[in-house]
Every structure is written in structure tokens, then in C-alpha cells.
A and B are shown apart, each in its own frame.
Chain A
Amino acid sequence: AQSVTQLDSQVPVFEEAPVELRCNYSSSVSVYLFWYVQYPNQGLQLLLKYLSGSTLVKGINGFEAEFNKSQTSFHLRKPSVHISDTAEYFCAVSGSGSARQLTFGSGTQLTVLP
């Protein structure tokens, strides 16, 4: 079994400040890791994913995440946020080779304040 924990349900931050959204996972097998973003009244879209190789993954809109196997974490970061980054962010884990097991965290609402 696998699980995903997003430690913060809400993160308010001022515009142009840096932000980190935390994600920890547990799994007994090798994993793929994902961050998805959901803008108001829309579906989810992929921000970035880690499959293998370099542990620092760069995604769209200036976001990046670092895979840390020893800490079983995959935190999402952005050095300077914009108002348009206000959205809900979901971390997800998929067991390698498993069709079923795409497990999502409970989400983090990022609110960027002017």
C-alpha cells in the first residue's frame, strides 16, 4: 500500500515571496511522483513529475521539486510567486508498473496575497 501526506492544507504567501509546499509519501515499491495543479473551476493539470534520474525536477510556470528518497519527500518550490499561482496543488504517487495505484494527497491551497 502507498500513501501521500501533504502537511499543509492552506499556505498563504505574499506576491514575489518564495514558497514551499510539502509532500511526503510512503510506499514499499519504487515510485513515480507527481505534482498537479487545480485552478478554480478547472480540472487538474500536470506541473511536473519524477520518474528517475536527477532528483531535481523542473516543471511549468517556474515550479520545481526535489525527490529525497531517504526522507521520502517530494516538496514543491517556487522562488517567487505570482497572484496567478493561487490554486490548489496535489501531490500524487504511483507505484512503478501498477495501473491502479495513483494515490493523491489531500491537497494544499496556495493563496498568493498582493
Chain B
Amino acid sequence: EAQVTQNPRYLITVTGKKLTVTCSQNMNHEYMSWYRQDPGLGLRQIYYSMNVEVTDKGDVPEGYKVSRKEKRNFPLILESPSPNQTSLYFCASRRQGGGNTIYFGEGSWLTVV
């Protein structure tokens, strides 16, 4: 089954404690991306990757890092989380090309206290 898998799905953490949200896709997609969803703001892109070892900033990259060492994996790293990073996070992937359908993971609820 084609899918994008994120872990953890739910996490409560404390300010400053580094955390990683993993993302894996089994569709051999070149393009992967991270979004955060906040009430009234829709989905905002954090980082994206066009292929292995190629990453770029989205609209709200501050406080986040990513890496793309393998085609299937695209982890999101919060080096020093702060309360304003409390949000619902989605990983997504698609084949290269702006018209192709994006497939989303089920989301990761992150609370920073």
C-alpha cells in the first residue's frame, strides 16, 4: 500500500529538548516536504526536498532542520523546541512535477511546554 508514515503521532516535550519527527514514503517519490498546520493559517511549508541531498527552505523554516540522506526518508529536526512550535505537522511526498498529487502522512501532534 502506498503511504507516507510519520512518527511519533503524538508528542509532548519540554522547551529546549531536541526532538526528531521521522517521515518515510514507499512510493519512490523524488519530492518530499514538511508542513505545519495551525488554526486559521492553513498549511505552511517548512522545508522541502527535490531529491537526495537537495533541500530548501519553505515559508516558515526558522527553528527547524531537515536532512535527505536517503530517497525514502525525510526527518524533521527541532534542535531546541519552543512553545510557538506547538502545532500539527504533516510530511508529504509526490513525484517530481508541480501537477502531481501530493500524498500526506497522518500528521504528528507536537506540544512544547
Q: B residues within 8 A CB of A41?
A: 107
Using a CB–CB cutoff of 8 Å, the interface residues on chain B facing chain A are: 4, 31, 33, 35, 40-45, 48, 50, 56, 58, 90, 96, 98-99, 101-102, 104-107
Q: List 9 A-B contacts (CB under 8 A).
A: A9-B40, A43-B107, A44-B90, A46-B102, A99-B31, A100-B56, A101-B98, A104-B44, A106-B42
Asked if A106 meets B40 with Cβ closer than 8 Å, knowing A45-B104, A100-B45, the reply is: yes
Complex alpha-carbon distance, A51 and B35, angstroms? 23
User: Which of B48, B90, B104, B105 is within 8 Å of A99, CB to CB?
Assistant: B48
Complex alpha-carbon distance, A101 and B96, angstroms? 13
Instruction: Give the distance to chain B from A21, nearest Cβ to Cβ, in Å.
Output: 13
Using a CB–CB cutoff of 8 Å, the interface residues on chain A facing chain B are: 4, 6, 9, 32, 34, 36, 41-46, 49, 51, 90, 94-102, 104-107
Instruction: Give the distance to chain B from A69, nearest Cβ to Cβ, in Å.
Output: 16
Complex alpha-carbon distance, A106 and B42, angstroms? 4
Residue of B33, B50, B102, B106 contacting most chain A CB atoms (<10 Å): B102
CB pair A99 B96 closer than 8 Å: yes
Q: A residues within 8 A CB of B98?
A: 32, 94-99, 101-102
Complex alpha-carbon distance, A45 and B107, angstroms? 12
CB pair B99 A107 closer than 8 Å: no
Complex alpha-carbon distance, A105 and B44, angstroms? 9
